[in-house]
Amino acid sequence: MLFVCRANLCRSAMAERLAQAGGLDAASAGTHAVPDLDMPAFAKDVLVERGADPAGFASRRVDAALLAGADLVLTATRAERAHCVTLAPAATARTFTLRQFGRYLQQLPPGPTTLRDIARVRGRLQAGAPLDDDLPDPFGAPIGEFRVCAATIADILTLLADRPRRDPA
């Protein structure tokens, strides 16, 4: 699973580390990332509060190869989703905003889930408004905004972890 935000410093970085702390295979990147930057102190603090390890993180820029290799791409905003599907059109069916994906998971009955199941829900539901789909960037904000962002991510990751995927995806 690949998480993507703009700079790969806050949202996608926290999502990667929270997912890994939950036993999920995850990576992250940014559409406009400057490579090899560390995440902000507040992001690290919030990860530690949630039992995740921020050590060794380094930002990187998303590219077509990363997108092609990801079984699921979850972006922070619609703009980042558009960027990803432009870079790798073949990834369109498995690329969602994080909040959109969470809404789709909530519409499915309990049990194993495939991307086909998600596609059926995607086809039935109206598109969300930007405020429904976009995860606000806490960069430069007080630690409370980082906590809100991390809580949103963690809630969606819990939904994902509670739904093991079945083959074929």
CATH number at residue 68: 3.40.50.2300
Q: Is residue 73 assigned to a domain? A: yes
Is residue 163 predicted with pLDDT exceeding 80?
Answer: no
Q: How far apart are CA 89 and CA 91, in angstroms?
A: 5
67 closest CA partner among 35, 95, 108? 95
Look at residue 67 and tell me whether its pLDDT is greater than 80: yes
Residue 138, domain member (yes or no): yes
For residue 148, give the 3-state DSSP assignment. helix
Whether 168 is in a domain gets the answer no
59 in a structural domain: yes
What is the mean predicted confidence (pLDDT) over 7-25?
97
Let me know if residue 169 belongs to a domain. Answer: no
What's the number of domains the chain is made of? 1
Q: Is residue 65 part of a domain?
A: yes
The mean per-residue pLDDT over the stretch 75-92 comes to: 97
Examine the pLDDT at 127 and tell me if it is beyond 70. no
pLDDT of residue 54: 98
Instruction: Note the pLDDT of residue 146.
Output: 98
* pLDDT over 50 (residue 21): yes
Q: Is residue 144 part of a domain?
A: yes
Q: Is residue 166 part of a domain?
A: no
Higher pLDDT, 101 or 110: 101
The answer to whether 100 touches 133, Cβ cutoff 8 Å, is yes
| Range(s) of the domain holding residue 26 | 2-161
- The fraction of the chain above a pLDDT of 70, given in percent, is 93
pLDDT > 90? residue 49: yes
